[in-house]
Structures are given as structure tokens and as C-alpha cells.
Structure 1
Amino acid sequence: MTMFHLHDRLQADTAPIAEWPLCRVLLMDNRVWPWLILVPARHGLTEIHQLSREDQHRLVDEIALASRTLETLFSPDKINVGALGNLVPQLHIHVIARSRTDPAWPGPVWGSGFAERYSPEERDSLIRKIGERLGQK
């Protein structure tokens, strides 16, 4: 059995929050948006349809939990969910809380030019806040 390995780019651009039955939950290091990334801990996957049927259902449940968490904590106008993989081929799903007042609204966050890393204190505080909420399934 091949071990799961997080893609180097995801490793560099995120911080871990939790490990769920299917996905690793990561915080995108961009303080402009509350932004989670879910990575199914399965080796070699690039597309959702490559997951087993059971894991596809689990993925939808985990996306919903991540979405509800961001909705509860940040009261966004919209939750964006996407699995692009154009730069990082490893299957991963973006769950982003969007607001009409954010700098890229209504356009996509990708390629918007808006990026600002968290300070270590901000990042750690947000990880605790989200992690506590995620524990309340």
C-alpha cells in the first residue's frame, strides 16, 4: 500500500486544521478570505470520480460540514466550492467564504491578485477557532 503524501505546493501554502475520515482539512494561508482546502487522503487521485462511491458520498458530507462551519463563523454572502487542480494535480477541494465586500467580488479568487499571508498569531488563532467548531459535528 502506498502512503498518502500531501503535494508540496499544498504543504507550502496551507496549515493543517483537522483530519477527518476522508479528508485532511487545511487552512489556506491567505487572510483575504476564510478559505479551507479539503484533501482526500487517498494516494494518486486527481479527480472526484476516481474516489470510491462510498468516499464520494463522504466527500460531499465533509464539504457540507466545512461549508456550514465557514457560514457559522464568518456569515458570508456565498460559499464557493471548487476542485480545479490545474496547478496542483492532487485532488483537493477549495471551500471559500465570500462576501460582497471582498476585493475580488463577484469574480473568482484565483488570479485576482489579492493575497496576504496570516501572521503566525492570526493563523494559529483561526486554526483554533475553526478546529473547535469542526469538533461540533
Structure 2
Amino acid sequence: MTRHECTMCNRWNNDSDLRIIPLKHSFVTLNRDQFFPGYVLLFTREHVTELFHLKPRMRGELMEEVSRMAQALQTAFQPDKINYELLGNMVPHMHWHLVPRFATDPLWPRPIWSEAHGELLLTPEEYQNRIELIRKALA
């Protein structure tokens, strides 16, 4: 798969309405489906598929970006747990699904992939409100 064909490489531009923050090694966007409130995607700026493809220093700095985002989601949404998913089977570009989880959500405590669910799409204003909530928690 070329960089041009990669949906993750193009996500920052294609989903510009969902942008949260550009970081040194990654970009962060709100996931369009907000069935799980605060669900974000953090994906590497560089088209890589595996953590071991990164030099140790960059890998460490990237993990700090993942941790910083998780902490912001904890502050913004006060979930019972943050789920970290790094798969890449369907989209071979390193990206994390950072998902605030609540004991009250319909799939608790199972993984978010354990059962199909309807997409929860928000209005443009609701997306922007969630994005601002996360940005405020990052500050």
C-alpha cells in the first residue's frame, strides 16, 4: 500500500473537521462514531506499521504522546478506564484507538469490537464541543 492509498495517511486532511491536535510524531482526531464518548484516533505522521520500525527515542516520545492524550481523555470525560488499541490489521498504519470506557456503557467490560453497534454521529457543533473539551484538558 502506498502512502497515497493509505486512509490513515490521508485522515488529517480528509477529516479536517475532527482534528484535535498535531503533535511532534502524531496527529490526533476525534473518531466520527462517538458511540463511545471521547473516542479518538492517534496516528503516526510517518507511514509505519510496527513499533519496532521506529528508532528508540522516537518510539519513547510517541508513547509519551499516547499517554498525554489518554490523560487528557481521563480529565475531560472521567471514564472508569481508558482502552488502548493498536492493531493495524485492517489499516496497516500505526494508530491507536484511545477509548474512554464507562461501567455503564452497553459493552462493558468487553472490548469495543465484541459486538456490532449502531454508529452515533453528532452534529458539527457537538463534535466541536467534544474537541474543545479535549483541547482544554490538554492545556
Query: Which residue does the alignment assign to 1:67?
Result: 70
The answer to whether the 8 Å contact 1:35/1:94 transfers is yes
Shift of 1:73: 1.0
Unaligned runs of 5+ in 1: none
Q: Residue 46 and residue 31 in structure 1: after superposition, are their counterparts in 2 closer, same or farther (change >3 A)?
A: same
Q: What TM-score does the superposition give when structure 2 sets the normalisation length?
A: 0.84
User: Take 1:6 and 1:27, find their aligned partners in 2: how far apart are those partners?
Assistant: 21
Runs of 4+ aligned residues of structure 1 deviating over 4 Å after TM superposition are none
| 2:73 and 2:137 in contact (8 A); partners too | no
Give the total of aligned pairs.
131
1:7, distance to aligned residue in structure 2 (A): 3.3
| Aligned counterpart, 1:127 | 131
- Residue pair 1:46, 1:89 contacting (<8 A) in 2 also: yes
Question: 1:39-78 alignment to 2 at 5 Å?
Answer: 39-43=43-47, 45-78=48-81
Q: Which of 90, 93, 113 is matched with 1:87 structurally?
A: 90
Give 1:36's aligned amino acid.
V
Q: Distance in 2 between matches of 1:5 and 1:23?
A: 17
> How has the CA–CA distance of structure 1 residues 5 and 25 changed in structure 2, closer, same or farther, with 3 Å as cutoff?
farther
SS in structure 1 at match of 2:33 = coil
Q: Could you tell me how far apart the structure 2 residues matched to 1:101 and 1:6 are?
A: 38
- Asked if 1 retains the 8 angstrom alpha-carbon contact of 2:86 and 2:95, the reply is yes
CA distance in 1, matches of 2:25, 2:31: 19
Q: TM-score, normalised by structure 1?
A: 0.85
More off after superposition, 5-14 vs 76-85: 5-14
1:30 aligns with 2:33: yes
Percent of aligned pairs with the same residue?
A: 31
Per-residue CA shift, 1:43-74, capped at 9, x if unaligned? 3x111111111111011111111111111111
